[in-house]
Chains A and B, each alone.
Chain A
Amino acid sequence: MRLRRFKESLFRFLMIASLSLVVTAFVAILATIVVKGASAMNLAMLLETPKGGYYLGKGGGIANAIAGTLYLGLGASLLSLLVGLPAALALQKEYARPWLSRFSRLVLDILWGTPSIVYGAFGFVVMVRFGIRASMLGGILALSLVMLPIMVRSMGEVIRAVPQELKESAYALGTTQTEVTLAVVLRQAVPGILTAILLAFGRGVGDAAALLFTAGYTDYMPGSLLDPVASLPLAIFFQIATPVPEVQARAYAAALILLAIVLAINLASRLLGRRFSRHVIQ
């Protein structure tokens, strides 16, 4: 009996220790980035583009990367939404036979798991084939490959969860599939769809590997679709690799900005999900 009691408390101790390890890691990451980032943060970082000698520690900021990341994230979200929302709707049984929908969901699982560096390399090959150089367009295309599976998989779940009876009662009134989809299914699934978009946006905004060869990097604000564009993840990646301490410090500031954006999106998705669930019939 003593032994069993001892085992119970040992087990409990190990579990609490593991969980504290996870929480500690979380706190350590946040604390490191916030402390290091805040000490390097100033208004110029947010509002200015790199000036001459920036990479030797002289003045300027990373407004180009902040704007670039938002452009890339929004562009890729829009593009993925254009294909992703209909694709998620197609997973319903009105549109795809069960085998096709099951098969597609497996394909999506594989695509979701595919490392973003593979999308980056693939995007690069395709761009070379069509003569596009590293540009915002390339970055948006590569990022939407990363975002699409995330979006469709999570949208598909909520759309498939819309009760069949609800749709059938609409069909009984003589509506077409499209009308049911727009008026019933989409309205029911709005909170889930918003969450899916924000989830994918948050993932895309932070992705560096897919942008490495496709988006390029520039010290200027984002211009046309065919020009290279800066991004926060790459700004962090490049600046931390320089030997100049002042420039490294800016990587910390950039990381803090990126972290703030990602956390804000995370928070927004939770709040929006709740805000828009009024129309949902349980």
Chain B
Amino acid sequence: MTLRTFKDRLAAVHIKGSLLLLNAVAGILLLVLAAKAWPILGGRSLPSLLFSCAWSPWKGEFGFLPFILGSLAVTLVAMAIAAPVCLLSAVYLSEYAKRRTREALRLLIDILAGIPSVIFGLFGILFIVPLVSALEGSLGLPATGYSTLAGGLVLAIMVMPFIISVSLEVLRAVPMEAREAALALGTTPCEAAWHVVLKTARKGIVAALVLGFARAFGETIAVMMVVGNVPRVPHSLFDPAYPLPALIANNYGEMMSIPRYDAAMMLAALILMLVVGSFSLGARLVLRGIERRGL
């Protein structure tokens, strides 16, 4: 073996090994979370943990329902706000805007997407919470502002750039001929966008929204700064909520003193990872298909 082939083999080992290491990390991550969460199941069934409201760790009661519903509530509020705004924006950028405008706004959206979540949280405290508090005041409610609505609004702003840029990619993949054919039949641009472009791209658009949902579901810091963190099932937009990621973030330090508390936190992390992982996997598979085969 010459020096050259030796070097080549060595490099190949490093290169392939790194890829295997990366795959192994994913496996280890899942295994460790599952193994650490296992003790919480001792004497309890999984559904009884997931669908119980009783959260008193010091009595050994770990009911995750308030947190799961809190996460869902905040995320759904965020998606209800973000989805229409993002779709309309993406359609405008793809169908109406001139190239220059599109590139400029894309740059802005990229920058927005790179802003750290703690800054979104700070913006939430400074801007959104007072806004929600004023709204609560005008409705005659106790006006703290730290609520599901505030969390949803901050989260909506955070996922918007993400959803817009993915759906813009999808819309740009719709062949130009499809639009031209529709316009040639005498449709207005809006009809062409609605009946042809969006209809062709609907799978990809759904995938973009699902990705946004997954991103929002796992977001921690920004949400926990504005959402109130009260472990009760939220009944209105103005109730505080306590999402799963915030539960982990708030309790990790002190978990050692209470038995099984750490296992409960690990179960929360595992739920997060499985929900977010399966959603983003599904969406990515759809987007991958579009990338490869077209719409």
Interface residues of chain A, those whose CB is within 8 Å of chain B, are 4-5, 7-8, 11-12, 14-19, 21-23, 25-26, 28-29, 32-33, 36, 83-87, 89-91, 95-96, 100, 103-104, 106-118, 120-122, 124-126, 145, 148, 152, 176-179, 181, 199, 202-203, 205-209, 212-213, 233, 236-237, 240, 251-252, 255, 258-259, 262-263, 265-266
Contact = CB atoms under 8 A, between A and B. Distances in A.
Nearest to B189: A8
Given A206-B116, A233-B221, A258-B118, A16 B15 contact: no
B19 A90 contact: yes
Contact of B32 (A122, A236, A263): A122
B218 A117 contact: yes
Contact of B281 (A85, A106, A266): A106
B139 interface: no
B123 interface: yes
22 contacts: A8-B190, A11-B193, A15-B88, A17-B88, A19-B92, A23-B108, A91-B19, A100-B19, A110-B281, A113-B214, A115-B217, A115-B220, A121-B265, A148-B22, A176-B4, A177-B11, A237-B225, A240-B122, A251-B122, A258-B119, A259-B115, A265-B114
Given A15-B89, A115-B218, A255-B118, A32 B126 contact: yes
B285 A233 contact: no
A206 B117 contact: yes
Contacts of A121: 33, 248, 252, 265-266, 269
- Chain A contact residues: helix, strand, loop or mixed: helix
B141 interface: no
Given A199-B114, A205-B116, A209-B221, 8 more contacts: A33-B123, A91-B19, A103-B23, A107-B26, A109-B284, A110-B280, A212-B252, A259-B116
Contacts of A96: 16, 19
Contacts, number: 250
Interface in B1-33: 4-5, 7-8, 11-12, 14-19, 21-23, 25-26, 29, 32-33
A37 B60 CA distance: 44
Contact of A86 (B19, B32, B108, B190): B19
Contacts of A266: 110-111, 114
